Structure 1
């Protein structure tokens, strides 16, 4: 965004007045956040739900495929959900109703929350193919939201943490989770890998996830939250291949090395870009 367009957005933010559509959006985002939390509660195994690792015949468990992260990796969802709840409450403040960022990105965040809840529901019902479609759709939605966040600048601490930071973590994790989910679907469907060994496929898919993460880091000038979340997922894939029942030293080494490389790329781009663009989360 040019300085002129940024100034225009700022002026629009100052002069805009909330309208009925803004109130509808604010309430809809709050409701979708509640649904996402309920889904997470059920997906944890509480309230009669089946834990995600045991649902769908265990297709998403830590030892289901070469790309399955170890259980502790999913602790990142606690941070993401806290950020999403904080965002949902913050965006409902009267002062946020007419902000260009809220108007431009609010419904994309709403869509991400609903897709999140539906993904958990699909896994609970053992619909692995549907879950792969939903998480791919979630990835697309988050990419759009992320791009819009780069174009419509914020400026406040709340923007940096609840919008940029939360969306960055969300996107970075879902990038890895999408690759893992699709891999689980292929394995469950009996895909034979065209003659490649599971280890070779594991390494290839880790490289794909790393290239995607690196491309994002370069494009967004080294924002740390997406890189940290993706590196977190890759590292726990490595741990799972060393400590679980599906052991693969080649995949483990590749995944852990990929996590380090991804962080180094993000840091290098961030440091190299200072002085030209403002530092962002």
Structure 2
């Protein structure tokens, strides 16, 4: 099962790559929809969570469990994409958009597999670790890919930023409904939208701030609906 070592290697590379390539947490030149720097602390949770998932999945009994087997390949792709995304941010920013979109797709596949597998033969704590990490990673990415797009555009206007923000809200809301009650997805996606709200409100961009606030309400409503649906479904073994 070489895949478990590849997953661990890409998780380690992902965790160390910000030290080598640098990590831009927003600057004064960024569009107003970019959250303030402290909101990017979510990456610390994601990177450490991915490392924990990889380490827990190394032991032979867990490595063979359906849950770890199901998420291994797409999570490996997402982690590889993260490293490439950081490298592209320095030298070819326009490439960060398709790379981020590819990461989000891989994470969506991984999260879907994780919530479908249930405990997946690994116990509730490990299953919660996997779903929580993937949910946070995918939820933040669902909003951040749209914000990332704004950063590669030349002086985007309010209408363009509203369109991108609408895309972020729609992606996070739909993703929340499809995540079957995974708390990590709406929490991280909502955190990103809260960052947009703080940034736009501080800049006096009232239309963008209002859109972000509406987005937060929609995501919260979607999370409650998803939890209610999940509670009515029989638990998977």
Tell me the TM-score normalised to structure 1 length: 0.76
Shift of 1:169: 0.5
Q: Distance in 2 between matches of 1:120 and 1:102?
A: 26
State the match for 2:39 in structure 1: 73
In 1, distance between residues paired with 2:179 and 2:70?
19
Please list, as runs of the form range in 1=range in 2, the aligned pairs for 1:107-122 lying within 5 A after superposition: 107-122=73-88
Q: Quick one: distance in 2 between partners of 1:252 and 1:62? A: 18
1:270 paired residue number: 227
- Bigger share in helix: 2
Equivalents in 1 of 2:136, 2:219: separation in Å? Answer: 14
Q: Give secondary structure in 1 for the equivalent of 2:145.
A: helix
1:249 to 201, 206, 213: 206
| Structure 1 CA distance for aligned equivalents of residues 127 and 64 of structure 2 | 18
Give the aligned partner of residue 142 of structure 2. Answer: 175
Structure 1 gaps of 5+ residues are 1-21, 44-48, 54-59, 192-197
Q: Which runs of 4+ in 1 moved over 3 A?
A: 60-63
Counterpart for residue 65 of structure 2: 99
Residue 14 (structure 2) aligns with: 36
Secondary structure, in 3 states, of the residue corresponding to 2:30? coil
User: Root-mean-square deviation (CA), in Å?
Assistant: 2.1
Whole-angstrom CA distance in 1 between matches of 2:119 and 2:142: 24
Segments of 5+ residues of structure 2 without an aligned counterpart are none
Q: How many residues align?
A: 234
Aligned residue among 150, 157, 170 for 2:115: 150
Structure 1 CA distance, aligned partners of 2:233 and 2:46? 30
Whether the 8 Å contact between 1:62 and 1:240 is mirrored in structure 2 is: no
Larger Rg: 1
Q: Paired residue for 1:3? A: none
**TM-score of the two chains, using structure 2 as the length reference:** 0.89
Tell me how far 1:62 sits from its aligned partner: 5.9
2:192 is aligned, of 233, 236, 242, to 233
